[in-house]
A and B are shown apart, each in its own frame.
Chain A
């Protein structure tokens, strides 16, 4: 089993980056790989609880399901704080963490790293 780290830096409704994120993550999970996702910058919106888009895929809902399959999802605390997202506003199973304590470990433990941004 290999470990893929995906860094997402686009917001959930900005473009299709988060849709690519969940499809890429699912493909890796289906093949038995570990997937860790670090949300940075606008990417932190992926963790926000209560996402309810009417016409687009619910990325938050898909990520929540993928967490139940073993995916790890952590957001940058500084990015969350800057955007007014407080601890407790993330959906269950995800975590507001940090670059120093979480991303650095993810990078050191990964076999591949993919960055999704524009």
Chain B
């Protein structure tokens, strides 16, 4: 029986559906009330989903920033790997509520989760 899930977001926003789909899935799990703990962890190019400066209107795509904001509003845990974000983007401004996590701490966090799924 699983009481906690980590949703890993490894794909960048826009270009593929994966990151958006993963966040919507995390949101559904969070609102179901069946998970004691739902955490989203953005890593690799997926770290770009944490940026507050996304401008998806130019692409006529749904906003990944809003998907992140929905997760934060519903009290899911949302993390971005600090090293990955800093490697891709200098002086990144994060969406409010997204927390930075070092890789070492991310390993501990993932070890504590019952199941993990990857997008």
B5 contacts A117, C-beta separation under 8 Å? no
Tally of B interface residues using CB under 8 Å: 20
* Secondary structure class of chain B's binding surface, majority of residues: mixed
Tally of A interface residues using CB under 8 Å: 21
A41 located at the interface, meaning its Cβ lies under 8 Å from any Cβ of chain B in the complex:
yes
| CA of A112 to CA of B115, assembled, Å | 7
B1 contacts A99, C-beta separation under 8 Å? no
A65 located at the interface, meaning its Cβ lies under 8 Å from any Cβ of chain B in the complex:
no
Q: Which residues of B contact A104 (CB under 8 A)?
A: 28-29, 32, 34-35
Q: Report if A117-B119 is in contact (Cβ < 8 Å); known contacts: A100-B32, A110-B2.
A: yes
Q: Which residues of A contact B32 (CB under 8 A)?
A: 100-101, 104-105, 108
Q: Which A residues are within 8 Å of any B CB, using their own CB?
A: 5, 7, 9, 40-41, 98-101, 103-105, 107-113, 115, 117
